Structure 1
Amino acid sequence: MLENSYGLTFFLKTPKRKSDMIRYVYLRVTVDGIPKETSTKRKWNLKRWDQDAEWTIGIQ
């Protein structure tokens, strides 16, 4: 029997200008160990992103 594995990861990609706090949100899809990345074409503030949980932090 064939077993397929997959994973989805959202992350912020660091631009060449590292001083900017706005980053692009990328999506990495891994199927059977082969990763592919694509941009979501969305920008997000680095201070409002939790990289460990791979999601945004709400306003408090």
Structure 2
Amino acid sequence: MLEKSFGLLYYLKQTKNQKNENRYIYLRITVDGERREISTKRQWISDQWNAQLGRTTGISEEAKELHSYLDLVSVKVYRAKTKLLEDNKPVTAENIKDVLIGKDEKKFHHGSISTS
């Protein structure tokens, strides 16, 4: 069954006791209103982030590398979605997250997709 809505959003999240301007970048996967979050394990400067686009505002080499990395993570999400469809598994935010982090490999019968 195909989902009615599907979305990906990268956003910055401040952790407790974090004093500097860097924030961790998280990916929010939304399927039919159900949301799950995954840390990309990357950080970026909060005042150089476009929240609407979910991307950096810079054009430095570091910014370009981060864009490429986030694009790669997005591709892995779409691959996980395709794998669920091919295996006739429900496409839910939780199931996509499980595939990405390698949780319930026995349940899905395939390897994890590393996001690091």
TM-score by length of 1: 0.81
In terms of fraction of residues, the more strand-rich structure is 1
Deviation track 1:17-59 (CA, whole Å, cap 9, x = no partner) reads 2532011000000011110000001011112111122110114
The alignment status of 1:25 with 2:63, answered yes or no, reads no
Gaps of 5+ in 1: none
Gaps of 5+ in 2: 61-116
The alignment status of 1:14 with 2:14, answered yes or no, reads yes
Q: Greater RCO between the two (CA within 8 Å, min separation 6)? A: 1
Q: Supply the RMSD in Å over aligned alpha carbons.
A: 2.2
